[in-house]
Structure 1
Amino acid sequence: MLFQYLEDSARAHSARIAVIDGERTYSYEELEAASNQMARTLRNQGIGRGDRVGLHLDKSLEAIIGLFGILKAGAAYVPIDPASPEWRLNFIARDCALSGVITIPTWHASLRDVESLRCIILVEARPTNTLRVPQEQGAPVTLTWADVRAQSSAPVEPLAESSPEDLAYILYTSGSTGQPKGVMLSHRAGHAFVDWAFSVAGVRPGDRVSSHAPLHFDLSVFDVFATAKGAATLVLVPTSLSVFPRELADFIAYKHIAIWYSVPSVLTQLVARGELSRHGFPNLRTVLFAGEVFPLKYLRQLVLTLPRPRYLNLYGPTETNVCTFHLVTPADLARSEPLPIGQVCCGDEVFVIRDDGILAGAGEEGELCVAGPTLMSGYWGMEERTRQVLGPIPGHAFAYRTGDRVIRESGGALCFLGRRDDMVKVRGHRIELSAVEEVLLRHPDVEESAALTLPDDLTGNELRAFVVLRDNASTSPQDLRQHCANYLPRYMVPTRIDACEALPKTTTGKKDKVRLQEQARQLV
């Protein structure tokens, strides 16, 4: 089970620092004890195997304690973005039938009417153990951090009937295209990914590993569990630093980060605005990135500025954990095409299925399908949707259809071509939005780009784009359209290109296409 990583490291390296949260630190012995207290608190409320417990907290020491405590109780943790609106919190709480939730006092009133809840554990911003909440007739039991810390810290009795197939966590999708989906991952799936990632990243005892991704984003699975497996130190990166690249660069240097993992957008901002050359980063040994395509323009600059670390591109939808990877080589930096997503990993198998349902050969495009131990168990409460994406494919009895289009190069490496739903039609022509974005990024004044379409009565779709320009750039929209015309066929040149100070991002750091659509509509 995933919590065994913590238990093993606490036995072997009890005094090592497990977590750094600002000025606060916890050793492995302290984290083990505190998570036992949380597990006992939940067990006392009848929460155990098969139950779900919401983790509705900013990334913090308390959140890490809660995460491991939930798993030790035998339940699955359900991380909920604390910045999301009230309707989403209530939707997930009811959809997932949460038995418990760990949150802050601000949200107490919003959760009291959730019928499935047995307990609500309230955490103050910096627990002082003075909070007291009156109990109401028929409402879930309300507990405080003081109640948790009053429990015994002795090891919790393991559940005899537990299985690697037990649910470990549920990650809800953004829901930008409809109803949020809860992706169910088992302990088996988590182990298959973490054991591989721990090895390929080279996590060592005492390493400092960044925790940049929020807990509701799948990148956090590596941060939390690979760090615990290696008796390394998890360094919680303040959320606020993501919008201040210079300060984030200072944080990486001053905190002696050895292993960094984030979406490419964060690394792009570090290259463009972080003034990385101010630091030597002697401790930085491995840089992992995943979640979106890393523009080669910025990857080249990053490797040139910081040549010492290894750079690894990890690929995999939330439904598969990570299923392929690619170690960046000097030859990759000379490519004109996007970086490969590489070779299969984690004991998985991958298949490329053509549009006619036949297995694709070398050089043929198709949809990437994944089979193996890292696969999700399904979508919570959505059996029909699960059957649509998990099932038989040619050459394998059971696999996940990713919806991602890929091609296999002659050397065997897989290359990502784009999302199946990222392909649009403008005036009858098929257009890959990511291809337009990549060309815009070639312009020396462009730091970020995003392409999208708006419905148009005459053409069906109008192609639009947004860019973030470097400071003091004098490039005009017409200059950018001409730049696109130099590389793209006429029908792929955006009819309008708008400059903005920053592209809106989701809480996981990716481009927020929904908000971009709204911005574009306002500019018609």
Structure 2
Amino acid sequence: MARLLGQLGHLIKVLRDSSDEQLSVGELNMITQEDQAEIQSWNSHPIPSQPTLIHKEMLKTASLSPANPAICAWDGEWTYSELDNITSRLAALIKFSTSDQEHAILPIYLQKSKWVVASMLAVMKAGHAFTLIDPNDPPARVAQVVGQTGATVSLTSKLYSSKVRGIVGRCIVIDDELVQSLICTCASKPDLVLAAVAPEDLAYVIFTSGSTGDQRAS
């Protein structure tokens, strides 16, 4: 209550002291000196950065807490151990499909599901970067994104495979059926040799519309 009253008093003072009769809400200094000092105290000690990789952090968690839930989605749930197993199998397939490429950008063309996370981790384990494509995007935008990435392989679902095949040379259809076939081929988890990547290497590319309407990567 004391904080709320202090903030209210601060705003009243700001409005009273302002000579601008057209002052908008967005121009108000909403934070009190006390609040600003408190926020700065929270960040007074810099946190050292850790030169690591996203998928390696997941592997650490899978090793420490293999039975803990990692994915809880509308289409299924996986523990960290299961997620590690599935993404390693997918990564091995991706590496085979992109054996002539290094640090490629692979489009992931999927509806929201557990497979999006699995695909992202698998692509990174394979040593590549990914870009997410909304299935609702018009074909022209998708073609423009694929053209800028130079992608020859993409990850998608059965629902969109026919649409994607007209844009990308090869599609890997990601679903339970594929994973089951990979398990049947090799019952034990593959001894995946993680690709040589550094924390500075590209992991994710996002495209936004520029002023001309063209897609720009960042």
TM-score scaled by length of structure 2: 0.66
**What per-residue deviation string (whole Å, max 9, x for no partner) do you get for residues 402-448 of structure 1?**
xxxxxxxxxxxxxxxxxxxxxxxxxxxxxxxxxxxxxxxxxxxxxxx
* 1:37-436 alignment, distance < 5 Å: 37-47=89-99, 49-114=102-167, 117=169, 119-123=170-174, 127=175, 129=177, 144-150=178-184, 152=186, 153-160=189-196, 162-175=197-210, 177-183=212-218
* Counterpart-to-counterpart distance in 2, 1:175 and 1:150: 46
* Counterpart-to-counterpart distance in 2, 1:169 and 1:110: 23
Unaligned segments of structure 1, at least 5 residues? 130-143, 184-524
- How many residues are treated as equivalent by the alignment? 163
Report 1 or 2 for greater relative contact order, CA contacts < 8 Å, sequence distance ≥ 6.
2
* 1:417-496 alignment, distance < 5 Å: none
Is the strand fraction higher in 1 or 2?
Answer: 1
Distance 1:180 1:150, change over 3 A: farther
* Counterpart-to-counterpart distance in 2, 1:46 and 1:164: 21
**Displacement of 1:43:** 0.9
Distance 1:110 1:36, change over 3 A: same
Identity of aligned residues (%): 21
Letter in 2 for 1:11: S
* Counterpart-to-counterpart distance in 2, 1:23 and 1:61: 7
**What per-residue deviation string (whole Å, max 9, x for no partner) do you get for residues 44-76 of structure 1?**
113453111111112211111111000000010
Letter in 2 for 1:163: A
* Counterpart-to-counterpart distance in 2, 1:40 and 1:68: 12
Task: Kindly indicate whether the alpha-carbon contact (under 8 Å) linking 1:122 and 1:145 is maintained by their aligned counterparts in 2.
Answer: no
* Counterpart-to-counterpart distance in 2, 1:108 and 1:63: 15
* Counterpart-to-counterpart distance in 2, 1:18 and 1:68: 12
* Counterpart-to-counterpart distance in 2, 1:40 and 1:175: 36
Task: Kindly indicate whether the alpha-carbon contact (under 8 Å) linking 1:101 and 1:121 is maintained by their aligned counterparts in 2.
Answer: yes
TM-score scaled by length of structure 1: 0.29
**Displacement of 1:108:** 2.6
**What per-residue deviation string (whole Å, max 9, x for no partner) do you get for residues 495-519 of structure 1?**
xxxxxxxxxxxxxxxxxxxxxxxxx
Unaligned segments of structure 2, at least 5 residues? 1-52
RMSD between superposed Cα atoms in Å = 2.3
SS of residue matched to 2:54: coil
Q: Which residue matches 1:419?
A: none
Distance 1:101 1:148, change over 3 A: farther
Letter in 2 for 1:159: A
1:16 alignment partner, one of 68, 88, 96: 68
**Displacement of 1:42:** 0.6
* Match status 1:28 vs 2:80: yes
SS of residue matched to 1:78: strand
Distance 1:94 1:23, change over 3 A: closer
* Counterpart-to-counterpart distance in 1, 2:202 and 2:83: 22
